[in-house]
Structure 1
Amino acid sequence: MTDTLTIPPGFERCVWVFAINLPESEAEAFARGPLADAMGVNAVDPAHTELLDADAFTEYGLSRYLAEGQGIAEESLAADAATLDALRGPLLLVFRAALGQGSLSPRPPLQLIGRYDEVPSPARIGMAPYNPEADILPVQTAKRPSDAAMSGRVATVVLILLAIFVALFIWGAG
């Protein structure tokens, strides 16, 4: 049995890597079945877990996959990179989002390899803090036309009526 592992509060993104000490044919059924019980938690969201065959990463490297494919910080992986790349057989990646609050108490057939953290977001140097209210566009209200614009419209209507009146006189005279 592994020591109790604290689940970080909040939405910090990290991953626990577990070896599953079962034949590959049984590992998939285990990952879909009694996983929560073996991890010592009430529930595990399977949408945030990944069952892998470590043998598929012999040339690429599991540590490289975690860094490039999952966004895990290389600094977090550095101490265990050789161990991760040497793993064989079924592995289970359990991301923070798969778990609630509290702690993990993994039991066989799970064997903890390690916990690795996501690359931290870069600092926003020189930028104002984000204000979601600033993203709301103001409601556009209809703007009242100026007096000059109204005078121009009235003059246009008068000229059109005058042109019609002159055309009627010319037609009537002819």
Structure 2
Amino acid sequence: MTDALHVPRNERGVIRVFALSMTDDEARQVKDDPELIAAALGAPVNTDQIEVFPVSDLEGIGLVGYLLEGNAVPMDQLAPDRGKLDKLGGWVMIVFSLAFEDRETVLDPASSLTLIGTYGEGRTDWRATETVDADSAQPYSAPTETVRKKPSDAAMSGRIAMIALLILGLLTWAMIWIGG
């Protein structure tokens, strides 16, 4: 049995890769049975956020490519384990943070699971790269009184035309009603 793994509450963007030491038939059973997945991990999990598949399904891209391109794991995180990941055969289990549904969890993986690595998904850096010094960028720099803009000539013409059509329509209706 492997050491227990702690998953902190509200964890985001972490991917755990496990190798499965079992026959193809056993791995297929685990893949198709949420209870077997939870038992293998030793904790309740949302199996919609767990992938179980043979590494051979990744022919052409490989496990490193799948993690890099398919799951946005930065290469600098994969580099130390690249040899292990490239040589890995058989079945793997990929466990995403959302499998724990924001709960603090302690995983007690079965002896048939071997943790290969824990990786963080690449994240966008939303910090500004430049300082904006314009007066209009400063807090509370918006004008305090609102200035009402005068309607354009086209808007005024449209309003006049609508009023004229309304009056003509009312006169026509009145003539038909009175004359009718």
TM-score relative to the length of structure 1: 0.67
Per-residue deviation, 1:52: 1.7
Partner residue in 2 for 1:104: 107
Partner residue in 1 for 2:28: 28
Over alpha carbons, which structure has the higher Rg?
1
- Retained in 1: the 8 A contact 2:37–2:47? no
Question: 1:19 aligned to 2:19?
Answer: yes
Q: Which amino acid aligns with 1:9?
A: R
- Retained in 1: the 8 A contact 2:16–2:95? yes
Check 1:9–1:127 CA distance in 2 against 1; reply closer, same or farther (3 A cut): farther
Q: What is the CA deviation profile of residues 123-166 of structure 1, one whole-angstrom value per residue up to 9, with x for unaligned ones?
A: 321599xxxxxxxxxxxxxxxx9xxx6xx95xx86xx88xx9xx
Structure 2: runs of 5+ lacking an equivalent: 133-150, 172-180
| Cα distance in structure 1, aligned partners of 2:81 and 2:52 | 19
| Cα distance in structure 2, aligned partners of 1:63 and 1:88 | 13
Runs of 4+ in structure 1 off by over 4 angstroms are none
| Cα distance in structure 1, aligned partners of 2:113 and 2:53 | 14
The 5 Å alignment of 1:108-147 reads: 108-125=111-128, 126=130
- Retained in 2: the 8 A contact 1:58–1:85? no
TM-score relative to the length of structure 2: 0.65
Q: Which amino acid aligns with 2:64?
A: S
> When the two structures are aligned, how many residues end up with a matched partner?
140
Q: What is the CA deviation profile of residues 62-102 of structure 1, one whole-angstrom value per residue up to 9, with x for unaligned ones?
A: 11110101111222111001110110001110111011322
Q: Which amino acid aligns with 1:4?
A: A
Partner residue in 2 for 1:56: 57
Per-residue deviation, 1:58: 5.1
| Cα distance in structure 2, aligned partners of 1:80 and 1:89 | 17
Question: 1:40 aligned to 2:27?
Answer: no
Per-residue deviation, 1:45: 1.0
| Cα distance in structure 1, aligned partners of 2:83 and 2:131 | 39
Partner residue in 1 for 2:144: none
**C-alpha RMSD over aligned residues:** 3.2
Check 1:94–1:36 CA distance in 2 against 1; reply closer, same or farther (3 A cut): same
| Cα distance in structure 2, aligned partners of 1:44 and 1:98 | 5
Structure 1: runs of 5+ lacking an equivalent: 129-144, 165-174
| Cα distance in structure 1, aligned partners of 2:119 and 2:66 | 13
